Each structure stands twice: as structure tokens, then as C-alpha cells.
Amino acid sequence: MFLLASAAFSLFTLFYGLMSGAVIYHLKQYTLPGSSLPKIVVTLFISFSIFFWLLAFIFLIKIRGLV
């Protein structure tokens, strides 16, 4: 069960990372010079993503102890 959950979690992390990278690339590439809003939004997005990823990771580790 834990192996299956870990594999799914890794796959999810991979897709999430790729998609986040692509969106951030677009913002960096096409934002008008002098705009500060994208930087704030990207910072917030990364912060929330790291928080929820860590939370998910902690729950994943807990599965290992339980199953």
C-alpha cells in the first residue's frame, strides 16, 4: 500500500513540478517590464505549494507506519 501511494505521490510531484515550472516560465518570459505583481503571485504560489506538499509528504510517511 505504501509503495503504491509513494509511486502515485512521486508521479503527482513530477507533474506538479513540471506544470509549475511551465507557468512560471511563461510569466517570466512574457510579463511587461516593471510589473511586480507576478513576483508576488509566484512567491505566494511557491510558498503554498511547499506547505501543502510537505503536509502531503508527512501524511504519506504516516501511511508507512500504519499499514
Partner 1 sequence: MLKLLHENEEIVMVIRKHWFVMMRIAVIFALLILIPPLVLSFLPLVTGGFNQQVVDVFINLALSLYIMVLLIFFFLIWTDYYLDLWIITSERIIDIEQHGLFNREVSEIPLAHVQDITVEIKGVVETLLNFGTIRIQTAGEREFTINYVPRLYEAKDVILKYAHKK
Task: For residue 30, state whether it binds partner 1 (rule: CB under 8 A).
Answer: yes
- Give the number of residues in contact with partner 1, rule: CB under 8 A: 30
Quote the least distance from Cβ 13 to partner 1, whole Å: 9
Could you give the 3-state DSSP secondary structure of residue 29?
A: helix
Quote the least distance from Cβ 47 to partner 1, whole Å: 11
| Contact criterion met (CB below 8 Å) for 6 and 60 | yes
Q: How many CB atoms lie within 10 A of CB 6?
A: 14
Helix (H) or strand (E) holding 21: helix 2-30
Helix (H) or strand (E) holding 56: helix 37-66
Query: Under the rule (CB under 8 A), what is the footprint of partner 1?
Result: 5, 9, 12, 16, 19-20, 22-23, 26-27, 30-33, 37-38, 41, 45, 48-49, 52-53, 55-56, 59-60, 62-63, 66-67
